[in-house]
Structures are given as structure tokens and as C-alpha cells.
């Protein structure tokens, strides 16, 4: 069944299917969009029966949507902003994940170099010293509360605000030395504390021929104890090594050093020398 409608633009009347009543359609004469309102034809008006504008059949056509350019632009702008927000959020999350990964990698690498504390109880006796026909261990005690045993009688001196105790280098046993400087290096006492190469080579003879081959550290006696191993090929002497312990405690910087032939680094003499170092009755070095 058809109804007669009037275009609100050109006032032409035309017939349309009654199912399109109260819907928006294009006028078959002028092509403008108008709402289809059922009603009698205006007196004297002629019902338009020509071809529908845009070649559309209004008798069978469905409702024609009206496009709003402003609404389309707003929707596109909203979609772009949403995409930018999502991209920014993804970038921040990715950066956060990368930072966590880097932090874990650094912590793991540092943890690999750290050893558990190896302090000896105040009351735990030291093991007996290694004995040979040439060794005559002597204990050196300093009034400031530290002590160590040398495999012979050491020499001591004090200059440049530093107290040094050493045993003259021996062709078989090597060189033993302790230096205490009146300066603090509190930055050594943290998880990421490092000893500079120049500081590691301090008091090492022919230091320019040595390079750092190993590092480790542990906490003991309220300080982070740094153990550094240096090696070098010294002319006329062959492969040489130095084991250096450094730590900062009570406003002073301690260096405990041995230097000699590389195979001796694992000897009982060298190990015993280091573990006899005590501060206020506690052993701090691991040998």
C-alpha cells in the first residue's frame, strides 16, 4: 500500500511505500533528504511520478542514513587519540620491562662476584701455621686493634699519613705487606662498590706490568672486603701474581698484600698469612 508524501524542500508530492512512513528518504524530484510524512496531497499539487533522484526506488527503498562530516572527523580524531594513548602506554610498559631486565642482569652479575661472609668467631682459634725449615711465624700487633702474622720478622715505617708493615721480598715466599692509611673510602662499603685499577695496583712492584685477572668481595666486620688478583709477566722473573685485599673501616683504608711467583698464590703460606689478619679479635680475610 502506498502513501502520498510532500517534500519539505521543493513541496513536490510523491508516492512511497507506507513502511517508509516517518523515515528519512531522498525526494525523487530534487534529491534532498526529507522526512516521509503520510498525508493527503496538497490541493492543486501534482504528484511526482518521475524517476527517483539518484536512480533509487522509493517504493521499495529502506531508510537512507544521513552522514555528518563533523561527526566523522570527531570520531576519527577520537580514534587517533585512543591509538596514541595505547602506543604511549605500550612504550612505557616496554621501557619498564627493559629497565627491570637490566636491573636483574646487573644484580645477578654482581651477586656472582660476591661471596658469603667468611668471618671467624672471636673465640675460634686460628689453625696451626704451615711449617717448613725456613718459616718462623711472628705476630705483629698494632695499638689500633689489628694484628697479623708474618712468616718472618717484618719491618715497619710511617710516612705520608700511612703506616706500613712489610716483609722484604723473598725469592721463595714472595713479598708481604700491610698498609693502613688515615683516610676513609666509605663508597667501597656498598653492593656496587669497586676499587679503581690504580688503587688495586698501589704498592705492587712493577705495577705497570700487572693487570686485574679476578675480583671478588664479601662483607665482614662491618666492611666490604675486596679481594683483587693481579697477574703479569715480569722480565727475568716470569709469570708473577699479586693478591690484594682492600677495605675501609673506622675512617681508615687497609691494604693487605702478597706478591710473588704465580704458582704460590694457592700455597698454604699465603693463605695462612691472610687469614691471620684480625681486627678487634675477628678474622676478616678469606685467604
Place of cell 702478597: 258
Alpha carbon distance 285, 120 (integer Å): 9
Which ranges of the chain would DSSP assign to H, the alpha helix?
A: 69-113, 197-200, 268-275
Grid coordinates representing 144? 689500633
Query: Which tens digits make up the pLDDT trace of 64-77?
Result: 454 556 666 777 77
Burial class (CB within 10 angstroms; exposed 0-12, middle 13-18, buried 19+) of 185? buried
Q: What does the pLDDT read at residue 1?
A: 67
Query: Which tens digits make up the pLDDT trace of 125-168?
Result: 788 888 877 788 999 999 989 999 999 999 999 988 899 999 98
Q: What does the pLDDT read at residue 239?
A: 96
Q: What does the pLDDT read at residue 9?
A: 85
Tallying the residues shown for the chain, one arrives at 287
Query: Which tens digits make up the pLDDT trace of 267-282?
Result: 999 999 999 999 988 8
- State pTM to two decimals: 0.59
Query: Which tens digits make up the pLDDT trace of 68-119?
Result: 566 667 777 788 888 888 889 888 889 889 889 888 877 766 654 444 444 4
Alpha carbon distance 60, 80 (integer Å): 39
Q: What does the pLDDT read at residue 52?
A: 46
Domain ranges of the chain: 2-55, 138-283
Q: How far is CA 40 from CA 9, 51, 236, in A?
A: 17, 21, 124
Q: What does the pLDDT read at residue 137?
A: 93
Q: What does the pLDDT read at residue 72?
A: 67
Residues 193, 187 contacting (CB under 8 angstroms): yes
pLDDT at 49 over 80: no
- Helix, strand or coil for residue 66? coil
pLDDT at 198 over 90: yes
Domain 138-283 is in which class? Answer: alpha beta
| Summary mean pLDDT of the chain | 82
Amino acid at each position: 500500500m502506498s502513501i502520498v508524501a510532500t517534500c519539505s524542500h521543493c513541496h513536490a508530492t510523491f508516492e512511497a511505500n507506507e513502511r517508509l512512513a516517518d523515515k528519512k528518504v531522498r525526494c525523487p524530484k530534487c534529491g534532498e533528504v526529507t522526512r516521509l510524512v503520510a498525508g493527503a496531497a496538497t490541493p492543486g499539487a501534482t504528484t511526482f511520478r518521475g524517476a527517483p533522484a539518484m536512480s533509487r526506488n522509493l517504493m521499495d527503498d529502506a531508510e537512507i542514513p544521513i552522514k555528518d562530516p563533523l561527526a566523522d572527523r570527531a570520531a576519527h580524531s577520537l580514534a587517533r587519540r585512543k591509538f596514541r594513548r595505547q602506543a604511549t602506554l605500550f612504550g612505557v610498559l616496554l621501557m619498564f620491562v627493559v629497565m627491570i631486565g637490566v636491573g636483574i642482569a646487573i644484580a645477578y652479575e654482581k651477586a656472582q662476584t660476591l661471596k658469603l661472609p667468611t668471618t671467624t668467631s672471636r673465640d675460634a682459634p686460628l689453625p696451626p701455621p704451615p711449617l717448613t725449615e725456613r718459616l718462623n711465624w711472628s705476630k705483629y700487633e698494632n695499638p689500633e686493634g689489628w694484628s697479623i702474622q708474618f712468616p718472618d720478622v717484618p719491618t715497619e715505617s710511617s710516612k705520608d699519613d700511612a703506616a706500613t708493615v712489610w716483609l722484604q721480598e723473598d725469592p721463595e715466599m714472595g713479598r708481604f705487606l700491610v698498609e693502613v692509611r688515615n683516610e676513609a673510602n666509605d663508597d667501597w662499603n656498598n653492593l656496587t662498590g669497586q676499587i679503581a685499577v690504580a688503587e688495586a695496583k698501589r704498592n705492587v712492584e712493577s705495577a705497570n706490568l700487572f693487570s686485574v685477572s679476578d675480583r671478588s668481595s664479601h662483607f665482614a666486620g662491618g666492611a666490604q672486603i675486596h679481594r683483587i688478583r693481579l697477574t703479569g709477566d715480569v722480565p727475568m722473573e716470569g709469570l708473577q701474581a699479586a693478591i690484594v685485599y682492600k677495605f675501609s673501616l673506622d675512617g681508615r683504608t687497609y691494604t693487605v698484600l702478597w706478591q710473588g711467583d704465580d704458582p704460590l698464590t694457592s700455597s698454604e703460606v699465603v693463605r695462612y698469612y691472610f687469614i691471620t689478619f684480625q681486627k678487634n679479635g675477628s678474622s676478616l680475610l678469606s685467604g
